[in-house]
Structure 1
Amino acid sequence: MIAKLKFLLIGGLFLFGCRSNTPEPELHVYLCFGQSNMQGATPAEAQDSVVDARFQVMSTMDCPDLGREMGKWYTATPPISDCRSGLSPADYFGRTMVENLPEHIKVGVINVSVGGCRIELFDKENYESYVETAPVWMLNWINNYGGNPYGRLVELAKQAQADGGVIKGILMHQGESNPNDSLWTKKVSDIYNNLLADLNLKAEETPLIAGELLSAEFGGRCAPFNEFIATLPEAIPNAHVVSSEGCPGMPDGLHFSAEGYRMLGKRYAEMMLSLMNSK
């Protein structure tokens, strides 16, 4: 009897030890917002259709044609913003992250972006006054988010937290619609601080990563605004800027090509990975 009890005890300890050495599954969540380049303005290509299932997207609206419901997680095949958007930096951000993280970690993105919008659309307190002046074509996108994109982002972020997800960072690409706006960094800082407060996040644990606009080498019409983006870390200590140098663009001088989005997305991930490795 004693020998049998010893066997069971040793067996139980062995099993317990095996379990303790197996990392618990983790879901790292990244909030994404901005205008058309974060939304995804260029169609995805065939090579973009294969995605590791560890890279997930929470649908930010109901998309019947895609078989998606708002608030549910899906493998992050594009589009990962609205129902008909194209490729965005968030696509290859997530892909690059899962390639470089342990297998027990999943990466989830929540992408709420509106083409053509000024940064004021994400102003928690004053967005309604901006919506009142928004063009009709933009209202359709805004209405997809219940008329309040910032509110939708926070709503779904809280749901992700309830699902056990941990918000690890915020990705932004915006600026084309705020030319020569010397208060832009202050406005971004206010949005960032509101997100921290609404989601109980700590600034030192939640980096903001912003990408430059299409560079002058590819005819970027808004390339001068990159000077404002470069000063973002002065307003937000945990802000970091990703270069768009060498990322090809489209003939319109505003948007990146599919290859440009892939390159830019990988740079967002490389920045995030470097921040994680520096801790």
Structure 2
Amino acid sequence: MMKRILNLMIVSILVFTADTIYSQQDPNFHIYLSFGQSNMEGNAKIEPQDTVGVDNRFQVLEAVNCPELKREKGKWYTAVPPLCRCKTGLTLTDFFGRTMVTQLPKNVKVGIINVAVGGCKIELFDKDKYEAYMTTAPDWMKGMVKEYDGNPYGRLVEMAKIAQKDGVIKGILLHQGESNTGDTLWTKKVKIVYDNLMKDLNLNPMNVPLLAGETVNADQGGICASMNTIIATLPKTIPNSHVISSSGCNVAKDNLHFDAAGYRELGKRYAEKMLSLNGNKGSK
């Protein structure tokens, strides 16, 4: 009898604690998780126009310590680039957030969490396989992964849980695939990551869409453009997923990365899709 009473007390405490945490959430603070490889990390040089006029309603939760930027891991800042790690470039999340706040009501804030690693396969974000994957990773990648204490997925979840104390996770942004070009199992591998996020963050997949962008398009000579045929099938595996076209987005000379103009356009397209899904495009 005493054991049963004790168990009921523990459950009551846990429920009370959870209710207290979520009662502090601001429903008008919309959080978006983003992950992937170099095009999500941000490969383009940050230009002067990208550092001015950033609305403080657009925030970034710093995922690593950046003393040179006077930013600390796990704290919110106005989303002036870089938005991934301390020395990364302009990313599509920059203009995703900027577009979102121009279209949303003035009382709504947008927060982004960007955890990305250039050159990585989707396996790096599989919490059950990342350690095995890292045994084959090149040294330059290991250095980037080390900034996330060796576990980018774990860091994304850690930051997301911090963010959930302040706002509500409304969607997930993905840009990855170049390193998995030709991998017909890619959609299933993405689903593993997505399902883990839903479970680990207590999210309802019906309420949290996944937006996945195409690699550099064939119309721009993309060297991994063939991957787009696989990316196009993602909604068959994850019902609440949507593919963002990269057609016409400007690219860098390597035909692998977008340039600054390309990231601005691609980020805008992610935002337009998210706004349409939320049913509030054009609202002020």
Q: Same fold (TM over 0.5)?
A: yes
Number of residue pairs matched?
255
Structure 1 residues 124-135: aligned runs within 5 Å: 124-135=127-138
Describe how 1:220-235 pairs up with structure 2 within 5 A.
220-235=222-237
Q: Partner of 2:65 in structure 1?
A: 62
Question: 5+ residue gaps in structure 2?
Answer: 1-25
The answer (yes or no) to whether the contact 2:27–2:168 under 8 Å persists in 1 is: no
Q: Which residue of 2 aligns with 1:276?
A: 278
Identify the residue that residue 121 of structure 1 maps to in structure 2. Answer: 124
Say whether 1:172 aligns with 2:174: yes
Residue number among 195, 200, 203 corresponding to 1:201 in the alignment: 203
2:262 alignment counterpart:
260
Moved more, 228-237 or 269-278: 269-278
Give the aligned partner of residue 154 of structure 1: 157
Give the corresponding residue for 2:214: 212
C-alpha deviations, 1:191-233, integer Å up to 9, x for none?
0000000000001100000000001222210001000000000
CA contact 1:42–1:256 (8 Å) conserved in 2 = yes
Partners of 1:175 and 1:271 lie apart in 2 by 20
Cα deviations across residues 19-66 of structure 1 (Å, max 9, x unaligned)?
xxxxx7721000000000000001111111121110000000000110
- Could you state the TM-score of these two structures normalised by the residue count of structure 2? 0.88
Query: 1:100 corresponds to which residue?
Result: 103
TM-score, normalised via structure 1 length: 0.90
Runs of 4+ in 1 over 6 A off after TM superposition: none
Q: Which amino acid aligns with 2:175?
A: H
CA distance in 2, matches of 1:35, 1:117: 6
Distance 2:244 2:116 in 1: 18
State how far apart, in whole Å, the 2-side matches of 1:244 and 1:83 are: 26
Q: Partners in 2 of 1:216 and 1:207 — Cα distance?
A: 26
Q: Aligned letter for 2:131?
A: E
Partner secondary structure for residue 147 of structure 1? coil
C-alpha contact 2:198 2:204 (8 A) present in aligned 1:
yes
Question: Aligned partners of 1:217 and 1:274: how far apart in 2?
Answer: 26
Structure 2: distance between partners of 1:66 and 1:109? 17
Instruction: Please say if residues 39 and 112 of structure 1, whose CA atoms lie closer than 8 Å, have aligned partners that are also in contact.
Output: yes
Equivalents in 2 of 1:278, 1:188: separation in Å? 28
Query: What is the letter of the counterpart of residue 208 of structure 1?
Result: L
Q: Note the alpha carbon deviations across 1:76-133, whole angstroms, 9 max, x for none.
A: 0000001001011110000000000011111000000000000000001111001111
The 8 Å contact of residues 25 and 104 in structure 1, kept in 2 or not, is answered as no
Counterpart for residue 114 of structure 2: 111
- In the TM superposition, residue 278 of structure 1 has moved relative to its aligned partner by 7.7
Mapped to 2, the partners of 1:124 and 1:170 lie a distance apart of 17
Q: Greater CA radius of gyration, 1 or 2?
A: 1
